[in-house]
Structure 1
Amino acid sequence: MSYEYDERRSVSDAFAAALRDAINARHVTLSWLHQQLNMRGNRVSMATLSYWRSGARRPEGAQSLAALVDIEDLLGLDAGALRRHLGPTNRTGPLGPNRFPLDEEELERAVMVAFEALGASYPDTSRELTTHSVTDVDADGNVAYSITRSIVQSTIGTITAIPFLEITPGVSTPAPVLSAVSGGRITARYSHPDGEVHGVLFELDVPLTAPDTAMVEWSVTYPPDYPPMRDTGHALAQKARELLVWTRFHPDAVPDWCEERVETPEGVTVTAVPLTRGTSVHLVRRAFGPGALGLHWGYGTREDQPG
């Protein structure tokens, strides 16, 4: 059980205990409280009040918090006496659209086939809140290894596993080796016949019920027959709070030019990235997605380099 879940549970228990104590001290019933709230225009159901009193749920959202102000008044409590037990909200927050991040229908169909083969529903009901993707480039200037750390969240119901994919649009490759580093284990693998989509099913250490979160980490290594790759990045089907793509170059293979590529379902934007920070480039986006953030690099003259 994660620390975050324990903290959330203790907050809910503290609020429920405070509400029960206040109701008992006032010598009223839940039915009376429900009736008084309705008379004040707060249409909170008896079931909701029961959930709050038991600790099964806690007030969330503007309407529930407005009702809580009236409850404090009706029970003769100081303003904020119950609300101070709530702590920060546990809602998922605005989810935004869940869309395939690239404007490529054929590729999306291949991804859907991969999800089905892995036993996962499409679209995925998890989302990445914060993701840091780190890639190491070898002495030949090609991608050698990547590791990704992400805070993932269940948005609907309970999830036990999340599919993670490696996608190379327009380039057929052998299957890279995707490995679980922390937070779960790999239980299934799949490679699409076109060689552009390879994936795994990452089974979580602990099932997640919305809006629970977990920290996961996975890595990718590339076999000797893998084609030379001078692109890296990360794609999101839903908006994330933060996405970091950090590319670290071998000291003998610092590129002559780099381009940032931002691709969304609406199109692609390419921007030159100056190499002024040693042997690595990091790209950061906040409130980003659906879309893909990537880096492309090369050696020699880039005649059509933007800017």
Structure 2
Amino acid sequence: MEFAGALRQAVQASGLTLERIRHRLGRRGLTVSVATLSYWQRGRSRPRSRAVIAALEEILQVPAGALTELLDDPAPTAAPARSAPGAGPGAGDRSRTARDLWPDPERYAWLVGQLDRSGDHRLERLSIHDVYRLDEARRSWTLSVRTVLRAAGDGIDRVVCVHQTGGGHAGGEAAVGPAAAGPAGLASVRYCRPGRIRAAGGLMAFELVFDRVLAAGDTAVVEYELGPVGEPPPDSYDRRFSHPVHDYVAIVQFDSGRLPARCYGFTAESSLAPRRRLGELWVGTSGSANIAVGAVRRGIVGVEWEWH
């Protein structure tokens, strides 16, 4: 969606008048006239200040980045990255794009460009919970995902998910077919149905269509499972965030007879950036380790381990 249309919908959903919005911006030390706001809504001009639009996102109660992403590039497949997780996920290089999170950015852009991501910037990611399971021989893995979303606008009916399923990597992105055939496909979905799916070179992107069309403020829960993927898993699992997420939890489940020697949490700003370890994770009597991170902005969060 282009910036003007997204702003217009956000204003309508908020119930605020342009005068009221102007007043609230003024209280933050930002001077914008009602006429200027009207021009932005109708596409007659575009704002130059990202600070003003970031303030508008808070005033209109839309997800961070929902409007600022559309200033530089209205195409949903290459939205400018806002920031990446670091010591506390939130600081990062704003020049990065969602494609930088993947080892093959061109393949990522080609795959997601074939899917409907028109509502992605109007979906607030409340929580994502991953459970990544390795088999006893460490020759295959499965992934179970539960995502809770809230609509920041009307008429949203799907979300796109992206995962690496081959090439020695495992990881995913919460982002808007028939299910994929073969061992790397969607094993099951709940509270939604699969839409279109595209896969190439160990990367899979697919749509999950909600049980109903969401209006502003509505929530949706989707659950799905990938695998089993019949390929030796790497010594790490990660999730790649191209949208802010309030709450993220990853559980890595090892076979009780084959536990790792050490296990660590980590973050990275992009697929090429060095990993930053967050600390050692305890592998409990259940044979699992977990990491919980709040207020993830952009970037990569994961778990890595070392074998005896």
TM-score greater than 0.5 by the shorter chain:
yes
Q: Which amino acid aligns with 2:64?
A: L
Question: Is the contact between residue 165 and residue 198 of structure 1 (CA under 8 Å) also seen in structure 2?
Answer: yes
Displacement of 1:252 in angstroms is: 0.7
CA drift of 1:298 comes to 3.0
Equivalent AA in structure 1 for residue 192 of structure 2: G
Preserved contact between residue 185 and residue 203 of structure 1 (Cα < 8 Å): yes
Q: Distance in 1 between matches of 2:220 and 2:241?
A: 17
1:172–1:141 CA distance, 2 compared to 1 (3 A): closer
Post-superposition offset of 1:218 = 1.0
Question: 1:176 is matched with which residue: 180, 184, 192?
Answer: 184
What's 1:130 paired with? 127
Q: CA deviation at 1:117?
A: 2.4
Where 2:275 maps in the other structure, the secondary structure is strand
Matches of 2:206 and 2:214, distance apart in 1: 18
**Structure 1 equivalent of residue 275 of structure 2:** 268
Distance 1:164 1:124, change over 3 A: farther
Q: Residue 257 of structure 2 aligns to a residue in which SS?
A: helix
Find the counterpart in structure 1 of residue 240 from structure 2. 235
In the superposition, the TM-score normalised over structure 1's length comes to 0.60
Q: What is the correspondence of 1:1-307 to structure 2 with a 5 Å cutoff?
A: 58=15, 63=20, 92-96=61-65, 99=81, 100=97, 103=100, 107-121=104-118, 125-141=122-138, 144-167=141-164, 171=168, 176-192=184-200, 195-224=201-230, 226-265=231-270, 268-275=275-282, 277-278=284-285, 279-300=287-308
Counterparts of 1:298 and 1:230, CA distance in 2: 7
**SS of residue paired to 2:104:** helix
Considering fraction of residues, name the structure with more helix.
1
What amino acid is aligned across from residue 197 of structure 1 in structure 2?
Answer: L
Gaps of 5+ in 2: 1-10, 25-57, 70-78, 82-96, 171-181
Q: Assess if the C-alpha contact under 8 Å between 1:236 and 1:291 holds in 2.
A: yes
Contact map agreement 1:158 1:207 (CA 8 A) in 2? yes
Q: 1:105 to 1:229 in 2, by over 3 A?
A: closer
Is the CA contact (8 Å cut-off) linking 2:244 and 2:297 kept in structure 1? yes
The structural deviation recorded for 1:176 is: 1.2
1:190 partner letter: R
Count of residue pairs the alignment pairs up:
222
Q: Percent identity?
A: 16
For the structure 1 residues 230 and 166, does the alpha-carbon distance in structure 2 shift closer, same or farther, using more than 3 Å as the test?
Answer: same
8 Å CA contact 2:99–2:109 kept in 1: the answer is: no
Taking a change above 3 Å as real, the CA distance of residues 129 and 171 of structure 1, as seen in their structure-2 partners, is same
Q: Give the aligned residue type for 2:125.
A: E
In 2 relative to 1, CA 221–92 (structure 1 residues): closer, same or farther, beyond 3 Å? farther
Which region of structure 1 is more displaced relative to structure 2, 161-170 or 230-239?
161-170
CA deviation map 1:180-217 (0-9, x unaligned): 4222111222112xx13112211111112334321111
- Deviation of 1:113 after TM superposition, in Å, equals 1.0
Alignment check: 8 A CA contact 1:101 1:263 kept: no
Structure (1 or 2) with the larger CA radius of gyration:
1
Could you list the per-position Cα deviations for residues 92-149 of structure 1 after superposition, in whole angstroms to 9, with x for gaps in the alignment? Answer: 4551466345745763322221112234459754342111111122212355221111
Q: TM-score, normalised by structure 2?
A: 0.60
Decide which moves more: 210-219 or 286-295.
Answer: 210-219
Going from structure 1 to structure 2, the CA distance change for 1:274 and 1:157 (only over 3 Å counts) comes to closer
Distance 2:127 2:246 in 1: 6
**AA in 1 matched with 2:277:** V
The structure-2 alpha-carbon separation of the partners of 1:298 and 1:267, relative to structure 1 and needing over 3 Å to count, comes to closer
Q: 1:129 to 1:137 in 2, by over 3 A?
A: same
